[in-house]
Amino acid sequence: PGSGTATAAASRRRRRREEPEGGHRKQARREPEASGARPTSTMDGSTACEQDRDGAIAGHNQGVKTEPCFQTNSLLPSPSTSLISQLLSHPMVGRSLDPCILFPSSQAVALPQDHECSASPGEGAKALTFPTTRAPASMPCAGDRDQLSDQHLRAKRARVESIIQGMSLPPTPQAFGTSLEAAFGHERERGGEMPRESKRKPRVPQQGTGAAGQVAPVVGSPRAEGCQQLKEQLCFLEQQLRWLQEKFSQVCDSVDAAQTQEGAEKAHPLPGKPGDGPDKDSAAATGNLCKAPLRRSVLEVHGPEEDKDRGDTVGLPSAARVLSQALKDELAGVTSQVVDSVLKTIWPKAASHLLQQHHSLPVSGPGARREYFAAGKCRKPLAKPSPTSALGSLSSPQAEALSGTSGKRPGSHAVSFSSKGVRKPCQVRNMSYPLGSHGPWGSSSCGSPSAPERGPLESLNLHWGTVKLRSSVVRQQQQQHPLPLSPADVESLGCSVWAAECQLSLTPRQIQEALTPGHLKKAKLMFFFTRYPSSTLLKTYFLDVQFSRCITSQLIKWFSNFREFYYIQVEKFARQALLEGVVDAGALRVSRDSELFRALNTHYNKGNDFEVPGRFLEVASLTLREFFNAVRAGKDADPSWKKPIYKIISKLDSDIPEGFKATSCSQELLRS
DNA sequence: AGGCCACCTG
DNA sequence: CAGGTGGCCT
């Protein structure tokens, strides 16, 4: 009993004596990382994560624009900008027919949009402005007018492109202010707090120059440029006009369908509306893609008030009413699209089903979504853990029975709470979730505890996405009944329906800014699975924590302390066994009723409400034997005698059940 | 330079 | 368990 402290103290004294030989120690410490699959993957994962995050950010920088979801797909002529900007810009453009005033006016028209874009999801617009092309243009060479002109033209073209693309974006303030900003802006926010992000800041200045270069060429533009500009403007307007027309016809159709009683009125095409024949057909065709969704969006956004909304416009002239409705529809539609895109981006498959089934979700219908999804290759699809597919269709118990192992040692990974007390659904279904099926990490990690490819990007994406979702879109749905996700949906994520709900935070979860006792408890339980978690991994499993440098290091520190305690305990018992005359290291086994286990379990699983995975017993047994052998061989004379042991143990981390990712986990654990 | 680790100390 | 230190690694 008391010998533990003594042993530990002795160990410490010894270490202290060894201190001067830091060199050895370093090697020892570093060893696991150098060759250990775990630490290595840790680094990789970390780097990859960083890159990914970077990539993601870059993506958003370049933009909104890069985000194919919002861009390409939205070639549907729908975003509210198209209409609104037309209304706003028409007069100006009209005045700007004179090339002399064209540019100023074009600035007025174009720049705001650029800003709009850049101010939104990413500081992106600049990236879209092709800084490289633009850079020279922003440095007017006194004599080289042609070149300047040429560059300027290209710049203009780029900007027009960006304008057009911007129009296809949903720049609805509310949209960005809520879902999108919460989604991607949040990441930037966090990025600021994340140590690694700070390194990436240099990108900002670049954008700055991009923006500068954007304005520069416009000033003092020659007449030739003016013509070109005019041309482009006209093209641009032409396109907008086309869209507007489509809008009109589409809205008319919609009105037709909805208000048959107003047949007489609708029979009159809008003034100036092109022929009904072919145009109408094409418009209708286009409209079919977004009409239904738009209408539904309106209905969902305004709920039962839809009719009232329409009713409000009854007094207006038909054109105005149509326009009004079109604007409403578009606003609603844009909002829906944003929600749709965000959701789809971070959770493609589930989102798809979710969107289709959950009627209260203000999203676009299948048609429009198809468009978005088709073009929305924002992210590569989540890796599908094929081996788990079968599990997806099984009921929970079945799945558990089949996958309770990590594919290697049957039963060794079985994780579940003991029967003590009544477990909340969270714990039971969560914690006992099959370890073998970790969606984000794919099937490859099923068989090997070391899981070299741990910590890939997708998990992070999912993780952030989840957080974002929770904080933005889904929160509004929290009171709703559980989302009707089928096992098939969940299968793609490799986590249970419940876990999905949990992560979507149907139960409201606040993002903590500090670690709580619940988190500590959770961390301790996680230690049963991983002794050397990377910060990336931790971030993945503490989704309800707003990570900062401080939080991260605290978590790391926790595990460091856990390890310390663990190794001290094991060493203590190894020495004890030696003193007791044990000769065969193979006879040393850590069972659930062994003293060592009790010591460890008391420390990491106080309350004993979690069933320690068998795998941990194996690891502990191995550690014990290693210590035993080392001490018996007198290796402890070597200052770095623990190095090989650390190295071995560092490779024995196993996957952590997905259930630990549940944001409610920590709190539930605290209550148990 | 920053992340992570083991170690030591309180 | 947290603070601090020294060290390696990228």
Dump pLDDT digits (tens) for A55-69: 332 333 333 222 222
The model's confidence at residue A591, banded by pLDDT at 50, 70 and 90, is very high
Distance in Å from C8's C1' to A26's CA comes to: 6
**Residue A462, SS3?**
helix
Q: Which nucleotide is nearest to A42 (CA to C1')?
A: B4
Buried b or exposed e, range A494-515, using 16+ CB within 10 angstroms: bbbbbbbbbbbbbeebebbeeb
Nearest to A243 by CA among A571, A235, A315, A303: A235
Euclidean distance between CA atoms A612 and A112, whole angstroms: 59
pLDDT exceeds 70 at position A522: yes
When comparing pLDDT for A106 and A161, which is higher? A161
Euclidean distance between CA atoms A425 and A658, whole angstroms: 15
Distance of CA A567 to the CA centre of its chain: 36
Whether this prediction's pTM lies above 0.95 is answered by: no
Q: How many CB atoms lie within 10 A of CB A37?
A: 19
Enter the tokens of residue A116.
């709009």
Q: Which nucleotide is nearest to A23 (CA to C1')?
A: C7
**Range of lowest pLDDT (A401-410, A560-569, A616-625):** A401-410
Q: Which residue has the closest alpha carbon to C10 C1'?
A: A43
pLDDT exceeds 70 at position A421: no
Please report where in the chains the tokens 């143990």 appear, as a residue: A649
When comparing pLDDT for A144 and A560, which is higher? A560
For residue A611, the 8-state DSSP code is B
Strand C bases near protein CB (under 7 Å) are 1-4, 6-10
pLDDT exceeds 90 at position A616: yes
**Where is mean pLDDT largest: A10-19, A167-176, A448-457?**
A10-19
Crossing angle of helices A277-302 and A318-346, in 10° steps, is 70
Q: What is the pLDDT of residue A327?
A: 52
When comparing pLDDT for A549 and A129, which is higher? A549
**Where is mean pLDDT largest: A4-8, A260-264, A304-308, A537-541?**
A537-541
**Residue A405, SS3?**
coil
The model's confidence at residue A535, banded by pLDDT at 50, 70 and 90, is confident
Q: Is the CB of A8 under 7 A from strand C?
A: no
Enter the tokens of residue A441.
């990490």
A303 dihedral zone (left: phi>0; alpha: psi -120 to 50; beta): left
Residue A361: Cβ-neighbour burial (10 angstroms; 0-12, 13-18, 19+): buried
Distance in Å from C5's C1' to A429's CA comes to: 44
Q: Which nucleotide is nearest to A31 (CA to C1')?
A: C8
Q: Which nucleotide is nearest to A533 (CA to C1')?
A: B4
Paired residues of A512 in beta bridges: A545
Are A80 and A488 in contact, with CB atoms under 8 Å apart? Answer: no
Are A610 and A531 in contact, with CB atoms under 8 Å apart? Answer: no
Are A582 and A574 in contact, with CB atoms under 8 Å apart? Answer: no
Q: Which residue has the closest alpha carbon to B4 C1'?
A: A556
Enter the tokens of residue A3.
């010998």
Q: What is the pLDDT of residue A590?
A: 95
Residue A248: Cβ-neighbour burial (10 angstroms; 0-12, 13-18, 19+): buried
When comparing pLDDT for A360 and A82, which is higher? A82
Q: What is the pLDDT of residue A412?
A: 33
Q: What is the pLDDT of residue A234?
A: 56
Are A86 and A146 in contact, with CB atoms under 8 Å apart? Answer: no
Nearest to A411 by CA among A598, A593, A611, A253: A611
Are A397 and A432 in contact, with CB atoms under 8 Å apart? Answer: no
Distance in Å from B8's C1' to A359's CA comes to: 60
Distance in Å from C10's C1' to A78's CA comes to: 48
Q: Is the CB of A554 under 7 A from strand C?
A: yes
Helix (H) or strand (E) holding A35: helix A22-35
Q: Which nucleotide is nearest to A521 (CA to C1')?
A: C1
Distance in Å from B3's C1' to A576's CA comes to: 36
Are A500 and A430 in contact, with CB atoms under 8 Å apart? Answer: no
Distance in Å from B4's C1' to A209's CA comes to: 37
Distance in Å from C7's C1' to A157's CA comes to: 55
For residue A180, the 8-state DSSP code is I
Euclidean distance between CA atoms A650 and A648, whole angstroms: 5
pLDDT exceeds 60 at position A204: no
Alpha helices per DSSP H over A64-137: 80-95, 99-119, 125-128, 131-137
Q: Which nucleotide is nearest to A19 (CA to C1')?
A: B7
pLDDT exceeds 70 at position A26: no
Nucleic strand B interface residues, CB < 7 Å: A 11-16, 18-19, 25, 28-29, 32-33, 39, 42, 46, 195-196, 198, 532, 534-536, 549, 552-553, 556, 559-560, 563-564, 567, 642, 646, 650
The model's confidence at residue A437, banded by pLDDT at 50, 70 and 90, is very low
Euclidean distance between CA atoms A608 and A603, whole angstroms: 10
Q: What is the pLDDT of residue A637?
A: 86
Q: What is the pLDDT of residue A318?
A: 55
Average pLDDT, chain A: 48
Q: Is the CB of A47 under 7 A from strand C?
A: yes
Integer angstrom CA distances of residue A119 from A63, A86, A115 = 11, 20, 6
Are A596 and A620 in contact, with CB atoms under 8 Å apart? Answer: yes
Strand B bases near protein CB (under 7 Å) are 2-9
**Range of lowest pLDDT (A289-298, A323-332, A589-598):** A289-298
Residue A577 contacts by C-beta under 8 Å, 6 or more apart in sequence? Answer: A588, A624, A628
Handedness of CA A292, A298, A304, A308 (dihedral sign): negative
Percent of chain A with pLDDT over 70: 24
Q: What is the pLDDT of residue A100?
A: 32
Nearest to A662 by CA among A428, A453, A476: A428
Q: Is the CB of A559 under 7 A from strand C?
A: no
The model's confidence at residue A231, banded by pLDDT at 50, 70 and 90, is low
Q: Which nucleotide is nearest to A196 (CA to C1')?
A: B2
Mean pLDDT of the A187-215 span: 28
pLDDT exceeds 70 at position A6: no
Residue A201 contacts by C-beta under 8 Å, 6 or more apart in sequence? Answer: none
Residue A532 contacts by C-beta under 8 Å, 6 or more apart in sequence? Answer: A32, A36, A38, A39, A42, A559, A563, A649, A650, A653
Distance in Å from B8's C1' to A545's CA comes to: 30
Q: Is the CB of A30 under 7 A from strand C?
A: yes
pLDDT tens-digit profile of A130-141?
Answer: 222 222 333 333
Q: What is the pLDDT of residue A57?
A: 29
pLDDT exceeds 80 at position A41: no
**Residue A663, SS3?**
coil
Q: What is the pLDDT of residue A663?
A: 80
Residue A141 contacts by C-beta under 8 Å, 6 or more apart in sequence? Answer: A147, A148
Percent of chain A with pLDDT over 90: 15
